[in-house]
Chains A and B, each alone.
Chain A
């Protein structure tokens, strides 16, 4: 079975705080794990991604932590800003290219 489970469903963080979103997958036939950010009325936009041979990747305020043995990965948003308020989706890519998405997390950053 190919599943990606994401939590929490929604998250409220104060400005300047750390937002943490977690994902777990159930199949090892994935070669790439992207995170997408989606604003209302827009398509998912690639935020950051990691390959399974790397345990952490950082780009600016965004960090992915990847635990291959636990089949888990997480997104950390440091110094969260109101402009970060959006829906975040984790995904796992099969070698065929098919992306399997998590359920999404709606993040609200309060000023």
Chain B
């Protein structure tokens, strides 16, 4: 079964540093999402992306966050200047179209020191 692949599985970064999380969507999927899950809490929506632009973003997704598809396959989440509260699991999800189910990757655990 096709999978959403996320790298790295674990990223440790000093506070204030930039971090880029990578996602390879399922082939032919056109809708992309980032979610995060702080330890012990629910999964929270960050941003949705379609046709090379952001469709919707949450209040968490401030100016420190950005997304892009740099090469037509990878889908990345960048945090420019990380804060301690950015420590969480970050999940990428993709779907074929807006009506199809979203399939999640196994996440990147981001630890900010």
| B45 at interface by CB-CB < 8 Å | yes
| Contact of B95 with A49 in the complex, beta carbons under 8 Å | no
Q: Does B102 contact A (CB under 8 A)?
A: yes
Asked if B25 is an interface residue, CB under 8 A from chain A, the answer is no
In the complex, per-residue mask of B8-46: 1 if CB is within 8 Å of any chain A CB, else 0: 000000000000000000000001010100000111110
Take A49-B101, A97-B56 as given contacts and tell me if A103 and B42 are in contact as well, using a CB distance cutoff of 8 Å.
Answer: yes
Give the A-B pair count, Cβ closer than 8 A. Answer: 57
What are the residues of chain B within 8 A of A49 when measuring CB–CB? 101
Main SS class of interface, B: strand
Complex A-B: 30 CB contacts under 8 Å = A34-B101, A36-B104, A42-B107, A43-B4, A43-B91, A43-B104, A43-B105, A43-B106, A44-B43, A44-B104, A45-B104, A46-B102, A46-B103, A49-B101, A89-B42, A91-B43, A95-B98, A96-B55, A96-B56, A97-B31, A97-B33, A97-B48, A97-B55, A97-B56, A97-B95, A97-B98, A98-B33, A98-B58, A99-B45, A99-B102
